[in-house]
Every structure is written in structure tokens, then in C-alpha cells.
């Protein structure tokens, strides 16, 4: 599980995370919602050790992410992360792009890496696109390729940061369907999203971020049907 305890993070004078505490159980889907600049992306970056923290503690399966003794590269292999946009290598095919990490990081043979990549590309519905170049894919297909690439590392956790925000509206559904499929398969996921309907349908819990803090945390019913904090009510009014 992921345990976050009283995490503080500054960027220079800017106090971006102000005592965030949260835990995510195995198999759980947690959505993070909240206005722009509320600290959601920074929180994800801290969870997989891409950003340092000044105070508090984050542990993944009992291993402290920011401890000096932690092998962060090893820990990161357990935690897949997918961003709003991922720049695939344009001169490599979809298959070759997805093979890279298993080859370079997991040191798999070419054959093994290819098998893993094909499996994951089929999994996200891109079995027909193995030999295509990334530029020939739609935005939704590119995001599914990015998800396949993360899955090719066999992660135990997946972090998604607004993976549908850059997409044309008609392409959002196919990417959300892929996330929904992963949740049904029992993947432990943290999903930063503006898609309120998705957060409501797929999440076990929803965390509302406001100014670097979790202002409200609860089941989708609690957050969407009967939010308690005025900030949550205001945000939901503007977001839906």
C-alpha cells in the first residue's frame, strides 16, 4: 500500500503541499480532484520520488520513498506513471517504443521484451498498431500506448495525471475505458482527473485537493452527493 503522512513540499517560497496525509490500499482506485495549482501533480511526483519532500513520510509497500537508503530506481519500477502527454520516440514503432523499458530497465532479452510489449499493446486495444509510428496514432491511441508502456514494467501501482486532458472530447472515452478495465483487474491506481463522472463511477475514494491540502476525502457518494466543505461545494459546482 501507499502511505502518505504529513507531507510538506515547497518550490522556493511556494508552499505547495501543506501536510498531506493519505493511504491507498492494494486494489483501491483513488481519484484526486481539485483546481489547477492545488498540488495534485506534485503529490504524484513525490509518491514516485521524482520530487523531494521537506517534511513527512511517503512509503510504498513499507519502503520509504525519500529515505537515503532506498533504491529509488528499483522502487519506481513498481509504480507506473502516465502523464497528460508522453512524447514517444518518433523514429521507433509503437512496438519498439513499448519494448524500450523492459529492454533497458528490466534487462529483458529482445524476444522477451517483444512478447511483453505485444501483450500489453493488445491489452489496451492496440494489437493492430504494433508496426505503426506514433505520429500515425490518434491522441487516444497515443495515450493507450503510454499506458501499455507503463504496464510493460509490470507495476503494482499506476499513477495517472490528467491523461485525458489534452484529448479531443470524442477520444476521452476510449482512454477512460482502459483505466476502467485496469481497475476491474484490480490494479491499485491514483487518478488525477477532471472527469467528474469517471471519478464518481470508478473510484473507491475521492480526495479533493485545495491549496496544497486534502480538504475532503471520502467515497464518491460522500464527495459528490453530500460534500461538507464549502470549498468542495464551490469546486464541484464549477466543475460539473
Q: Which residues bind to ligand ADP, rule: CB under 6 A?
A: 11, 14, 16, 34, 36-42
* 164 forms part of the interface with Mg ion (CB under 5 A): no
**Closest residue to Mg ion, Cβ-based?**
41
Q: Which does 38 bind (CB under 5 to 8 A by kind): ligand ADP, Mg ion, none?
A: ligand ADP
Work out how close the CB of 161 gets to Mg ion at its nearest, in angstroms, rounded to a whole number: 6
* 41 forms part of the interface with Mg ion (CB under 5 A): yes
* 42 forms part of the interface with Mg ion (CB under 5 A): no
Work out how close the CB of 100 gets to ligand ADP at its nearest, in angstroms, rounded to a whole number: 26
Number of residues that bind Mg ion (CB under 5 A): 1
Work out how close the CB of 216 gets to ligand ADP at its nearest, in angstroms, rounded to a whole number: 15
Work out how close the CB of 84 gets to ligand ADP at its nearest, in angstroms, rounded to a whole number: 10
Element housing 5 (H / E): strand 2-11
Sign of the torsion formed by the C-alpha atoms of 38, 221, 193 and 157: positive
Place of cell 500500500: 1
Q: Which is nearer to ligand ADP, 40 or 205 (CB)?
A: 40
Sign of the torsion formed by the C-alpha atoms of 218, 223, 229 and 231: positive
Work out how close the CB of 16 gets to Mg ion at its nearest, in angstroms, rounded to a whole number: 11
3-class state of residue 196 by DSSP: helix
3-class state of residue 161 by DSSP: strand
Q: Which is nearer to ligand ADP, 83 or 224 (CB)?
A: 83
Element housing 175 (H / E): helix 169-184
Answer whether 17's CB lies under 8 Å from 9's CB.
Answer: yes
Q: Which is nearer to Mg ion, 41 or 178 (CB)?
A: 41
Distances (CA, A) of 32 to 153, 156, 161, 232: 24, 19, 9, 12
Which residues bind to Mg ion, rule: CB under 5 A?
Answer: 41
Amino acid at each position: 500500500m501507499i502511505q502518505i503522512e504529513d507531507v510538506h513540499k515547497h518550490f522556493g517560497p511556494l508552499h505547495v503541499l501543506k501536510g498531506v496525509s493519505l493511504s491507498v490500499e492494494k486494489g483501491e482506485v483513488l481519484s484526486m480532484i481539485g483546481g489547477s495549482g492545488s498540488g495534485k501533480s506534485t503529490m504524484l511526483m513525490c509518491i514516485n520520488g521524482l520530487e523531494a519532500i521537506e517534511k513527512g513520510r511517503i512509503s510504498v509497500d513499507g519502503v520509504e520513498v525519500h529515505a537515503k537508503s532506498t533504491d529509488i530506481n528499483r522502487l519506481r519500477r513498481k509504480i507506473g506513471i502516465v502523464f497528460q502527454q508522453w512524447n514517444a520516440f518518433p523514429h521507433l514503432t509503437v512496438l519498439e517504443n513499448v519494448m524500450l523499458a523492459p529492454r533497458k530497465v528490466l534487462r529483458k532479452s529482445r524476444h522477451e521484451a517483444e512478447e511483453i510489449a505485444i501483450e500489453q499493446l493488445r491489452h489496451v486495444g492496440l494489437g493492430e498498431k504494433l508496426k505503426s509510428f506514433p505520429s500515425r496514432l490518434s491522441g487516444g491511441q497515443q495515450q493507450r500506448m503510454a499506458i501499455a508502456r507503463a504496464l510493460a514494467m509490470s507495476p503494482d501501482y499506476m499513477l495517472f495525471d490528467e491523461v485525458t486532458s489534452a484529448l479531443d472530447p470524442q477520444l476521452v472515452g476510449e482512454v477512460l475505458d482502459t483505466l476502467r478495465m485496469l481497475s476491474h483487474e484490480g490494479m491499485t491506481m491514483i487518478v488525477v482527473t477532471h472527469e467528474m463522472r469517471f471519478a464518481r463511477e470508478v473510484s473507491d475514494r475521492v480526495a479533493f485537493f485545495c491549496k496544497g491540502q486534502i480538504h475532503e476525502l471520502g467515497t464518491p457518494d460522500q464527495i459528490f452527493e453530500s460534500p461538507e466543505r464549502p470549498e468542495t461545494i464551490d469546486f464541484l459546482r464549477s466543475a460539473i
